[in-house]
Each structure stands twice: as C-alpha cells, then as structure tokens.
Amino acid sequence: MSDIFWITGSDLSESQPTLAAALNHIGVLPGWVEIAHLIADQIELAREIASGVFPITFLWPLHAGQSGFILHDVCRSLLIREQNLALLAEKDQDVVHFALMASPQALGRYNLMPHAHIAAWWTLAPSALTALPQKLEKSGFDPELVRWISGEGGLGQNAIVTFPAAQPVEQGPDSLLGRLNFLIRRLDETKCSHGLLLSGLAGAPLLATLVER
C-alpha cells in the first residue's frame, strides 16, 4: 500500500480564476508545489495554464495514454519522496482539470487535509484486463471492494466482467484527470471505499490506478 494522497481536484473554465488562484483559495501557495505537469493539445496552451508560477514545470503535448503514465510517474516520485507536493493539470477543450497530490511529509508541513488516497497502481500488458482482480489480491486488496470503475476507450465497461460487484462510471469528462476527480466524487456520493481508474488504448499497456476514499 502506498501513502500518496489526493488533496483536491476540480475543473476551471476560461472564465474562472487561474490555477494559482484556485490553489490560493484552498490555502495552498503556488510556491509550495514542487513540480507541475501541465498537459494540453498544444504546448502554448500548456504554457498558458502554467502562467509561470510553479518552480518546476513540465509542459506536455496531449497524446493518447500519456496522462495515465504521467499520473503514475508522479505517484512514484511522491512515494520515494523525490517530491512532496505535485500538481497535474490537463486541458480538455475549454476546461482545465487539475489534481493536487501529496506525500505524508507535505501533509504535515503545510497542514493539508487529504480527501482520498492513491492506494496502488500497476502497468500491465494490454491483454491483462481479466487478470486485474488477481493483481489486486496479490497486492493485498480485496477486488470485491471495488464498486466503481472509470476507464477511457470503453475500459470501464469491459472491466465489469471481471469485477461483478462494480459499476462503470458512465458520465464525466473525457480527460484522465477529469475522470480521476469524477471517480472520487462518485465514491463520496455513494459512500464506497474503492474505485479503479483505467487508461490505455488498443495494443497499448494497461494502466490501472486504485483509488481509496
């Protein structure tokens, strides 16, 4: 089990405050964010999201499956304490979806209240969807606790066969970060403890993220 925490996540339209202002609103100074990953279909749009306020910023062009890889990379970075507070943001049409992730050190240092927990994550072969319950069991998790699954490209619906106690999250945004935030809200609304976020296209590695409320 990891100790990576989801502090907050939301979406901003073009008429709303900047990312920096949104973080300030919840008591997080942009300078606290040790690393930011900003994803958009054009680098200039990613640069606009950044507004030059975060100490270390990576600008990524949007490619299929890339957001899931970046999410997992941030989790690994926080797990080994390479960074302690990280921001991910992804532009989806005229909306920016963002998530603030933290290590236990950041919680204590900045008096942050975690809302959800990234319990585990896996990178699997493209054909390994049916083996995912066994992967959870070997990692110490009960697959029957998974009640909601959100996945791109129909992965959520396809995974229901192997997780019969779960339901697919059929609403929500297209972007992976938007799906993550929407999944956590669905767990809140239904008072369920675990959900899965799935990313990957045909022939590409399957990226699975286990979220614990």
Taking residues 10-26, report their average pLDDT.
85
**Per-residue pLDDT tens for 95-113?**
999 999 999 999 999 999 9
C-alpha 187/C-alpha 195 separation (Å) is 7
pLDDT of residue 133: 95
Q: What is the CA angle 84-71-15, rounded to 5?
A: 90
pTM for the whole thing? 0.93
Last residue of a domain, one of 90, 115, 140: 115
pLDDT of residue 195: 97
155 and 75 part of one domain: no
CA-wise closest residue to 88 among 37, 122, 54? 37
Residue 183 belongs to domain spanning: 117-212
12 and 103 part of one domain: yes
- Mean pLDDT score across all residues of the chain: 91
110 and 122 part of one domain: no
DSSP state of 83: -
70 and 129 part of one domain: no
16 and 96 Cβ atoms separated by less than 8 Å = no
122 and 186 part of one domain: yes
Last residue of a domain, one of 48, 80, 115: 115
Taking residues 71-89, report their average pLDDT.
96
**Per-residue pLDDT tens for 23-71?**
998 999 999 999 999 998 888 877 877 777 888 999 998 877 789 999 9
Number of domains in the chain: 2
**Per-residue pLDDT tens for 111-138?**
999 999 999 999 999 889 999 999 999 9
In degrees rounded to 5, what are phi and psi of residue 171? Answer: -95, 180
pLDDT of residue 15: 67
208 and 155 part of one domain: yes
pLDDT of residue 178: 95
37 and 56 part of one domain: yes
Does 2 have pLDDT greater than 90?
no
CATH code for position 16: 3.40.47.10
17 and 107 part of one domain: yes
C-alpha 209/C-alpha 195 separation (Å) is 8
16 and 107 part of one domain: yes
Last residue of a domain, one of 97, 115, 133: 115
Maximum distance among all Cα pairs of the chain, rounded to whole angstroms: 46
